[in-house]
Structure 1
Amino acid sequence: MTSLLATLALAAAAAAVEPAAPPVDDPQAHRFTWAAVPTATFNTDEGFGTGGVISLYHHHEGVLPYRDELRFNVFVSSKLVQSHAVTWDALRPFGVPGRSYVRVGYFSTLTQNYCGTGNQVTCDRADARAAADARGLVDDPALADDDFDTFTRRYHLMRFIRPHATVLFRPWLRDKPWRMELLFGWRGSYTVPGELGERGPYPGSRYAADFPVGEEGLSSVPMVGFIIDNRDNEIYPRHGVYAEASVRGGHAWTGSTWPHAGVNATGAIFATLPGTPLVLASRVVADVIVGQPSVEELARIGGTLDPIAFGGAFLGRGVREHRYLGKVKLLSQTELRAQLFDTTVLGQDLSFGAALFSDGGLVGYDIADWRGDPLHPLVTFGASWRILWNRTFALRWDLAASPDEAEGPGFYIIVGQVF
């Protein structure tokens, strides 16, 4: 509750200095608005974080929710995670029917999880203690943080630096209803194992057992695909469908260190329950990789978004991020959402809502080598509090738990809808 109040207070302070958007008299007029949200956030995987989001909006020709958005993200957390990015998102860029998306960012962490691969990894602390014993380390109860404690704390963690970029172009074959788009894109990153001043994985860690010197190299992955979008609203859809299918791949010809190929199919449906404010939203994702991807590529799905799955703030809420890694992912998400009341504060339109949700999935290392039970479903359950701000972006507070996660419930404060 303290984090919720802190974020609301910061949002209100930002709203106090943001001018209200002028009335829409002439759709041909160029209007510019902006929003600045200092953040005080928390999620289970990254710890307490601070930073901010500044978005600049260009409105023109009645294009919704905006014609252009230029967004700046800065984030630093108590678990020494840094995530900074600049994003340009444009609908009808330069008057061309379509959408373009460019994102350039920097990510570094000392505390990313690595439990192994497959769907039965545990990150069991007993394994960490056994590895410490094997190295001759002794737990001294008189010391709060001796070498034994440091080793066991880091045993299931990774550290790396990862600058990254994504470029997408989505020309429209036809506009709504039933918008149809082609998808052309590229995502790339350069991974440096270690941290500033010290290269490589944590000595003796679970990750070092699989990759003794880490995985340094370039991931360069072009993609092509097709999209169908009939949602009534992309910030908070009340009815409609969204579907995309794409193929991607990295090779020496594309400059990639790790040769691999992947296919992704994603579909989502939204329906308002008659006579109620309730919206039933459901998404399914199928993602399969062949070849030899890096661990970071193994952790992500393909398509227009590349969130980590299964586990974390987007796919697998309630399970620690980066826990279940595999080339085969069959995932689902269902939410029962409702926006409960609207208000205007200092010229800003705020809509408050809530949701119940469940994430589920089947994850295997490989079709031929599942590394676990192929029929073992991963399931999470949770509840959420949501705010829609000026119909341009969303804030969410998600609390989730899973019978597969011994570390307790996950709590996330995130800018943006899950889907």
Structure 2
Amino acid sequence: MSAPLMFIPVAVVLIASLSATPAASARVAPGLEPVKTTGFDAIAIPLVSFNSDQGFGYGAVGGMYLYAPGKKPYAHAISAQFFFSNRGVQNHSLKYDGPRLLGPLRVEGRLDYRREIRSPFFGAGNQSAPDFRGDVNNELYNFEKGTPGFWLRLRGHPFGDEHPLQSYVGYGWRHMRVEAYERSMLSMEKPLGMDGGNMGQLLAGFLWDTRDSESEPQRGGVEEFSLRVSGNATGNRYHYVGLTLSERRYFALSPRLTLAHRMTLDMLFGDVPFYEWSNTGGVNVSEGIGGMNSVRGIERNRFAGNIKAFMNTELRYQAARFQVLGQQLKVGAVAFVDLGRVWHPGVSDGKWWHWHPGVGGGLRFSRRAAVVRTDYAVSTGSGRQRFYVTFGHMF
């Protein structure tokens, strides 16, 4: 029997903040901060980690939030990540978010480079690789890839800032380099996309957003419909269409306790390359099924296919607020249940009730819009474990 899989990071969290004092005429309810704030928050996490998917790793992730009067939840946000591991993983990115950069339009963009000597491939479908026993380093379930890329998106409120409808358009591009190991499942199955190549996509979507807060929602929700189109005209050698439907809901059970729930359905149609099977569309792109953005506790991209569905339920508790150098910090705890499955043409996906669950809990450290998330999760199907450290709520 294989040992449980663990991801055990050692992280030092550094939070710096500078805020202007509100005007004396501004009246703020006790315990609340004014909507119109200035200054900035910065968070940096040096990482020394062991991950049975990626080996011993080192690097850093950091984010900065700049605030300005009348701009919610911030005026500018910039985040960067640099990560290397002794097993050939590189994941570097630079991301920008300007909620009102071009008048009423929100400008979002990301530039990144990823390289993985052991990128997971378990085949297609909800019952893929039945003989897998947890050794994610086995070349049978891996291939090598390198993918520089970027995306740019414009988002706005066509009927005014107070109206819940948002729309967006964008473009994403990536160059996929694929090298299959001789005795891997990828070499044996030879799915579409073995030759890699350029991936260009046009992106569009609509959101109906009734949340009371974007960064720390307690009430309301977000419904989203998104479309991504790929073909020769977009700079993609493959022709396919992706549709994503997502629902996020938040219920304030008490001033400190929030129930949060998300449902996502992603469907791909056409000549879909295998490296798209695990991706979803939308404003918040996810991978799966399996990993810190879909079903925690299950190996990353353990189950993949043309149709993916997953659900996440979190009970979020704000445990404490305290002052550090005159700035308010919050500590919270989360208990969660995740559930997901896939469907893929031409393979057996099992009974309709055959879903893959993960359960666990975690801690949250936050300063205004800046949130550090740590989660520990267990797959109830295999008993294997995962630990994650990242920025922002899962949804």
- Relative to the length of structure 2, the TM-score reads 0.87
Match of 1:382 in 2: 359
2:121 is equivalent to residue 114 of structure 1: yes
Aligned residue identity for 1:409: Q
2:156 to 153, 171, 191: 171
Aligned residue identity for 2:306: K
Would the aligned equivalents of 1:173 and 1:181 in 2 still touch at CA under 8 Å? yes
Match of 2:19 in 1: 21
Aligned residue identity for 2:256: P
CA deviation map 1:262-313 (0-9, x unaligned): 111111000011x462211011111110112222211101111221111011
Match of 2:109 in 1: 102
Q: Which whole-Å CA distance do the structure 1 matches of 2:354 and 2:22 have between them?
A: 49
2:386 to 410, 414, 419: 410
1:41/1:250 CA distance change after superposition, 3 Å: same
1:28/1:118 CA distance change after superposition, 3 Å: closer
Q: Which whole-Å CA distance do the structure 1 matches of 2:38 and 2:54 have between them?
A: 39
1:126/1:224 CA distance change after superposition, 3 Å: closer
Structure 2: state its 5+ residue gaps. Answer: 1-5, 27-34
TM-superposed deviation, 1:58: 2.7
1:76 to 79, 84, 93: 84
Q: Which whole-Å CA distance do the structure 1 matches of 2:186 and 2:128 have between them?
A: 13
Would the aligned equivalents of 1:44 and 1:411 in 2 still touch at CA under 8 Å? no
Aligned residue identity for 2:131: D
Would the aligned equivalents of 1:47 and 1:77 in 2 still touch at CA under 8 Å? yes
Q: CA RMSD in A?
A: 2.8
1:233 to 181, 194, 213: 213
Match of 1:132 in 2: none
| Alignment of structure 1 residues 20-419 onto 2, 5 Å | 20-25=18-23, 31-41=39-49, 45-94=53-102, 96-122=103-129, 124-125=131-132, 153-175=138-160, 177-193=162-178, 200-211=179-190, 214-273=194-253, 275=254, 277-366=256-345, 369=346, 371-405=348-382, 408-419=384-395
Percent of aligned pairs with the same amino acid: 25
TM-superposed deviation, 1:48: 4.3
TM-superposed deviation, 1:164: 1.8
CA deviation map 1:116-169 (0-9, x unaligned): 0000013625899xxxxxxxxxxxxxxxxxxxxx9x821111211011211111
TM-superposed deviation, 1:80: 2.7
Match of 1:197 in 2: none
1:331/1:66 CA distance change after superposition, 3 Å: same
Q: Which whole-Å CA distance do the structure 1 matches of 2:325 and 2:181 have between them?
A: 50
Q: Which whole-Å CA distance do the structure 1 matches of 2:360 and 2:303 have between them?
A: 22
Would the aligned equivalents of 2:17 and 2:39 in 1 still touch at CA under 8 Å? no
Aligned to 1:155, the other structure's residue is in SS state helix
TM-superposed deviation, 1:34: 3.5
CA deviation map 1:204-257 (0-9, x unaligned): 111111239933201111121111111122222111111110111100111102
TM-superposed deviation, 1:70: 1.8
Aligned residue identity for 1:268: R
Aligned residue identity for 2:215: I
Aligned residue identity for 2:387: F
Match of 2:31 in 1: none
Would the aligned equivalents of 1:166 and 1:185 in 2 still touch at CA under 8 Å? yes
Aligned residue identity for 2:65: Y
Aligned to 1:92, the other structure's residue is in SS state strand
Higher helix share: 1
TM-superposed deviation, 1:33: 4.8
Aligned residue identity for 1:242: V
- Between 115-124 and 374-383, report the one with greater CA deviation: 374-383
- Between 309-318 and 276-285, report the one with greater CA deviation: 276-285
CA deviation map 1:386-418 (0-9, x unaligned): 223212222222122224336x12222222211
Task: Tell me the matched-pair count.
Answer: 379
Would the aligned equivalents of 2:295 and 2:358 in 1 still touch at CA under 8 Å? no
Aligned to 1:67, the other structure's residue is in SS state strand
Would the aligned equivalents of 2:305 and 2:343 in 1 still touch at CA under 8 Å? yes
Match of 1:138 in 2: none
Q: Which whole-Å CA distance do the structure 1 matches of 2:146 and 2:7 have between them?
A: 31
